[in-house]
Chains A and B, each alone.
Chain A
Amino acid sequence: MSETKKGPERASVPFRNPGWAGNTGEFDLSEAEVRGDEYVGSRPADGGHPSRAPSYPFMLEDKTPDAPLFEGPYRERYEKILSRYPDMRGALLPVLNLAQELRGHISQETMREVGALLGLSDAYVRGVTTFYTMYNKRPVGRFLIQVCTNVSCNLCGADDVLEAFLENTGTELGETSSDGLFTVMEVECLAACGFPTAVQINSRYYESIGAGDVPGLLEHLRDEGGD
């Protein structure tokens, strides 16, 4: 097939976020088909087959900062993770991920607890946690909005998109809005450079976002959530 025609003008509300270039002509898949939701199906609470357990954690809207590490199905996932690495240290990142899924951020106390579980010192776990940007060192809003401002997106207006998010949520970069809903951050290239601007909201990608799409997208999150 040769080139497709240029798509219709971008709608102001990107709910039909197709997971890639939202406005390309011959594109007639549902959002779930593009994202793979239908294929993946619902996620079993215990993590399913052990091979997937270490990749399981998600960024959830609902966070339980004082949830125990780990009980019930989370305990099962934790044990499946341990079974996939030759030593306890290897399980550190997946276990921190799991803790963050549950609690929403990794506090000093969480670092201590994870260290105790895996037989690693506090200082060691702190050193590792602070190295990686995806561990939230303090609580974040219900929706963690990360806007890519790296070069490919930047060439196509990412600075304006970031500005629109800050303005429409009434928050400062890295801060959480007063209603506790939104935390807006800048993020480095999300590997979706062909579909600028790329934005990650919790665990989900929104692509081909323009500054004009932002109010509608925020409204959608407020009303219907992002999952």
Chain B
Amino acid sequence: MAYPYTHEREVRVLSRGFGEPATRTLEGWKTLGGYEGLTKALEVGRESVIEEVKASGLRGRGGAGFPTGVKWSFMPQEKRGPHYLLCNADESEPGTFKDRELMRWTPHQVIEGCLIAAYAIQAEHVYIYCRGEFFETNQVVARAVEEAYEAGLAGEDILGSGVSIDVTVHQGAGAYICGEETALMESLEGRRGLPRVKPPFPAAIGAFGKPSTINNVETLCAVPHIIAHGGEWYRQWGTEKSPGTKLFCVSGHVRRRGNFELPMGFPLEDLLYDVCGGFEEGRTLKAVIPGGSSVPFLDADDCAGCTLDYEGVIEKGSMLGCASVMVMDDRTNIVKQVRRTVDFFAHESCGQCTPCREGTTWLSRILLRIEKGKGTEEDLDTLVDLGKQMTGTTICVLSDSAAAPVISSIEKFRDDYLALIRRGEAVGAG
């Protein structure tokens, strides 16, 4: 297969169609067993669908890792009005680039997953909330939705089952915070993307005030396979608590960057040195951010023996998040990259909560001062102190996310900070 880099240790379930233009079409998707999952779901009934997804142990791929089947079972069993399914295609966590690939290579996989989930939770309308910048990708998905309508797979009386589900491809307008589930709902409703205070949870009051479920693109993409082949089948990969396969987005200083689909629990070092080909000549590992910008740093010692499943990464002091593995070699200026990350969060903070709005700005200013060689050692204490005050004190976890890389980098790369503070010298170049 031509997809930029593939590796023999990959297990390509969701990414099977990557690099194959034919898979975009309905016909092409059907040659890979497409819509067998939907057909089967309509036969076995929605309770069985939820049970099967529960049995598979599938956990949300949007970052939090919440069990998907359990989430679906929170929806009211008795319908009193519309239910909505929201597909979170707002991928914007720095380091993450899997949903875009899933959407542009296998749009029908996304749509089939949406339809099965919508059926399971009795939703009559699916909104695929696509990131605004994805003009090209969104058109691919939108064309596939149109194809699904033409083939009677979406819209009224799907495949003669009497079930009707509409699908709409909605395009956002550029705001990271709209990836947060309740901010996404606000945004879909035509408001500013301000996260809501929970409870009430979306299963009670979600989009347009109605019970709603929200799932990440990758989560939904796993569903058709689970329904077609069974929950046990999915458990042949991964660990007891983190079953299945996962797309790992590897970026930064490795020889081969890209998406690699691997069983959960894959050793981080094998990913770096075997699958991704290690570092350039003469370079060595300095740090890894294993789950996108929102999670704490791992240093080289932490990486030794780290397995890539939700529990394995927590054991090493970080989080798997969306499995966005950002790799930094020994030429990296950690302080600069932390400052760049904090700038991102400062820019994307919605401004509702004081610790987040003020905290991100202060972190950024102090870090910039240190980066310029004008910081003091007390600044480091201030940063950690500020970071702690920003953790667990706000409506959503963006604030915690901004603090995590700051606190963990000061803990693990204190010498880099001290070199700048004491001698005005950055340890790495970029």
Contacts and interface: CB of A to CB of B under 8 A. Distances in A.
Nearest to A202: B135
Given A58-B135, A151-B337, A151-B341, A39 B252 contact: no
A2 B174 CA distance: 37
Interface stretch (A61-69, A131-139, A162-170, A214-222): A131-139
B104 A203 contact: no
A177 interface: no
Contact of A151 (B95, B149, B192): B95
Contacts of A59: 135
Contacts of B261: none
B256 A54 contact: no
B208 A87 contact: yes
Nearest to B276: A3
Given A3-B277, A39-B25, A52-B142, A21 B171 contact: no
A54 B170 contact: yes
A114 to B, nearest CB: 11
Given A24-B4, A28-B2, A52-B169, A155 B252 contact: yes
Contact of B143 (A41, A127, A193): A41
A132 B169 contact: no
Interface in A1-35: 1-4, 6, 19-21, 24, 26-29, 33-35
B92 interface: yes
B341 to A, nearest CB: 6
Interface string A138-169: 00000000000111101111010000000000
B171 A57 contact: yes
Given A27-B4, A84-B168, A131-B193, A154 B340 contact: yes
Tell me if A's interface is mostly helix, strand, loop or mixed: loop
Interface stretch (B66-74, B126-134, B305-313, B406-414): B126-134
Interface string A99-124: 00000000000000000000010000
B95 A51 contact: no
Interface stretch (B228-236, B263-271, B324-332, B370-378): B324-332
B348 A51 contact: no
Contacts of A178: none
Contacts of B421: none
A89 B189 contact: yes
B33 interface: no
A199 to B, nearest CB: 11
Interface string B215-245: 0000000000000000000000000000000
Interface in B352-380: none
Interface string B112-145: 0000000000000000001111111111111101
Contacts of B171: 54-57, 93-94, 97
B253 A155 contact: yes
Given A51-B142, A55-B170, A155-B430, 12 more contacts: A29-B21, A40-B143, A48-B142, A51-B149, A87-B189, A132-B172, A149-B340, A150-B344, A155-B326, A188-B92, A204-B135, A204-B136
